[in-house]
């Protein structure tokens, strides 16, 4: 039952990475995609119907952790308190800025709100990836299963952001920028679409360099994790997705590019948790927090198990309806 709930927890977080990834990427890439206020409107309108719904999967993942692994959620939220609070504020700022931008017309305010959308989207992508990296690399867990980290690693103690986790955060930013570029390209005017394809190629090149450096780092630290069959398969899937995405950007094939970029993101997101399992939060001082040690009582997991798939099916069906309605009401692309 614990293994089943591990999968239940992984699914909504993976969906959030893929679905919220494209609108985060489109927003943080605004300086590279749009040169005028009208073009910025054009880009942001492509994600307007989706971004709020996509964040639901993050809430679903957090709710699943609260139900199935409450001790893990408690330890992680307290130990990563400062970066988690920055992440929460970034989510709130992004939502508020996106909504308010449609209701103001004065240029200074629009410029401020546009900057807030860009910065908050970048912060969300960076911190989410960095925190996942920190959980995989390991934290200084005490005997009671708790820890406390600052934001940066200093001589006085470790922090959530080291050179390695910052590199993982930058890899996350580059990867969602690729997704955002492919999502935007078929929905905007031709000049913006051309910039989107160019951005996808450049961001993939940056992501490839970061991936190579980080892979070398993990091979030096945890060769047994990287060389596991599951890790090898997921990393191969990710690399194949990146290669196909680069080719799709060169051929201006947004559908293929978005799908392959999603494989790249899925592979990178899942490889760490699956390689570490049954450890859910690695420790630099010992074994870390295992799934069985932090799981809710067995009877609670058993009672809730039939309801989780039903809830996900309902949410997915509603999302499909929203996408279908949006496609019917969205004007045709002007990229041709």
Minimum mean pLDDT range among 35-49, 132-146, 235-249, 314-328: 314-328
Residue 235 · residue 271 · CB < 8 Å: yes
Rounded mean pLDDT of 234-257? 96
Write the pLDDT tens digit of every residue in 35-77: 999 999 999 998 887 888 788 889 889 999 999 999 999 999 9
**Per-position DSSP letters for 213-236, written without gaps between them:** HHHHHHHHH-HHHHTSHHHHHHHH
Helix-helix angle 107-137:254-276, to 10 degrees: 40
- Write out pLDDT tens, residues 190-227: 999 999 999 999 999 999 999 999 999 999 999 988 88
What is the rounded distance in angstroms from the CA atom of residue 183 to the CA atom of residue 312?
24
Percent of the chain residues topping a pLDDT of 90: 75
> Coil, helix or strand for 251?
helix
- What CA–CA distances, in Å, run from 123 to 10, 173, 222, 224? 22, 9, 28, 31
Cα separation of 4 and 8, whole Å? 6
Query: In this predicted structure, what is the pLDDT of residue 54?
Result: 85
To the question of pTM greater than 0.85 for the whole model, the response is yes
SS3 147: coil
Helix intervals (H) in the chain: 2-28, 30-33, 37-47, 51-54, 56-68, 70-79, 81-101, 107-137, 163-184, 190-221, 223-226, 229-251, 254-276, 291-294, 298-304, 307-329
Extract the tokens encoding 261.
Answer: 């970029």
d(CA 44, CA 26): 8
Distance CA(110)–CA(232), nearest Å, equals 46
């Amino acid at each position: 039952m614990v293994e089943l709930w591990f999968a239940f927890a992984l699914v909504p977080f993976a969906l959030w990475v893929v679905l919220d990834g494209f609108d985060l990427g489109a927003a943080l890439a605004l300086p590279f995609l749009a040169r005028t206020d009208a073009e910025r409107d054009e880009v942001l309108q492509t994600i307007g119907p989706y971004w709020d719904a996509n964040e639901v999967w993050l809430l679903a993942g957090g709710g699943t952790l609260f139900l199935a692994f409450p001790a893990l959620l408690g330890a992680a939220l307290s130990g990563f308190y400062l970066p988690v609070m920055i992440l929460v504020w970034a989510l709130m700022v992004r939502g508020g800025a996106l909504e308010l931008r449609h209701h103001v017309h004065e240029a200074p305010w629009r410029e401020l709100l546009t900057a807030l959308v860009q910065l908050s989207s970048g912060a969300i992508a960076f911190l989410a990836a960095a925190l996942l990296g920190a959980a995989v690399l390991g934290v200084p867990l005490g005997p009671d299963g708790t820890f406390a980290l600052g934001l940066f690693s200093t001589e006085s103690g470790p922090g959530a952001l080291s050179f390695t986790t910052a590199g993982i955060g930058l890899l996350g930013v580059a990867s969602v920028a690729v997704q955002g570029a492919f999502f935007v390209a078929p929905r905007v005017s031709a000049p913006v679409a051309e910039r989107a394809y160019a951005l996808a190629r450049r961001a993939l090149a940056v992501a490839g360099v970061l991936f190579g450096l980080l892979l070398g780092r993990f091979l030096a630290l945890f060769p047994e994790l990287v060389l596991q069959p599951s890790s090898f398969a997921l990393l191969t899937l990710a690399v194949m997705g990146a290669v196909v995405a680069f080719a799709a950007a060169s051929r201006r094939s947004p559908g293929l590019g978005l799908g392959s970029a999603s494989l790249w993101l899925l592979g990178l997101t899942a490889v760490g948790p699956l390689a570490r399992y049954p450890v859910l939060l690695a420790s630099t001082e010992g074994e870390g927090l295992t799934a069985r040690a932090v799981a809710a009582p067995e009877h609670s997991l058993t009672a809730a198990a039939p309801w989780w798939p039903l809830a996900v099916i309902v949410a997915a069906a509603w999302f499909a309806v929203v996408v279908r309605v949006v496609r019917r009401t969205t004007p045709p692309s002007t990229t041709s």
